[in-house]
């Protein structure tokens, strides 16, 4: 049971209580932060590709859409991997973090990155991502 005097001591003049300790949690070290950043990176890349295509159509039209998409995907998908690689479906906190996501968006994002790594024959990454996909699909 919490000590009620310590709770109320947080609000007095500080003469008769212990000072409150500051708690700092780096959100990007949490499973929620990592999954969120993974999804955000990939979905922002899709928006980026659409906007750059639109921009070059307006300017002069000399734009290799496919090469630009490949280049941005290579950079962004590998960076997104940096965040999702630490998700361990055997940990309850990580499973809980998956349930807090927009599941349809997460599933589509996982499909995209699995396809990306399949084309590059990076099957270890695909296996990890597929495990996350399967468990997310059951949510």
pTM for the complete prediction? 0.76
| Structure tokens, 7 | 């709770």
- Core vs surface per residue 43-74: b (16+ CB within 10 A) or e: bebbeebeeeeeeeeeeeeeeeeeeebeeebe
- What would the pLDDT profile of 7-28 be if each residue is shown by its tens digit? 555 555 555 555 556 666 788 8
- What would the pLDDT profile of 101-133 be if each residue is shown by its tens digit? 999 999 999 999 999 999 999 999 999 999 999
Q: Span 88-96, mean pLDDT? A: 95
| End-to-end alpha carbon distance in the chain | 35
| Structure tokens, 47 | 């928006």
CA dist list (Å): 102 to 32, 39, 50: 12, 10, 22
d(CA 75, CA 116): 12
**CA 126, 131, 132, 134 torsion-angle sign:** positive
Q: Span 35-61, mean pLDDT? A: 88
Q: What is the pLDDT confidence band of residue 139, given thresholds at 50, 70 and 90?
A: confident
- What's the pLDDT score for residue 100? 93
Q: Is the pLDDT of residue 5 over 60?
A: no
């Amino acid at each position: 049971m919490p000590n009620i005097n310590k709770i109320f001591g947080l609000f007095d003049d500080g003469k008769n209580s212990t000072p409150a300790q500051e708690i700092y949690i780096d959100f990007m070290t949490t499973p929620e932060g990592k999954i969120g950043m993974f999804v955000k990176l990939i979905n922002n890349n899709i928006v980026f590709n659409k906007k750059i295509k639109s921009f070059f159509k307006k300017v002069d039209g000399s734009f290799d859409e496919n090469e630009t998409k490949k280049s941005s995907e290579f950079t962004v998908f590998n960076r997104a991997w940096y965040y999702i690689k630490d998700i361990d479906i055997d940990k309850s906190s990580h499973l809980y973090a998956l349930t807090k996501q927009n599941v349809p968006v997460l599933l589509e994002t996982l499909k995209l990155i699995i396809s990306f790594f399949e084309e590059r024959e990076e099957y270890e990454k695909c296996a990890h991502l597929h495990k996350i996909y399967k468990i997310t699909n059951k949510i």
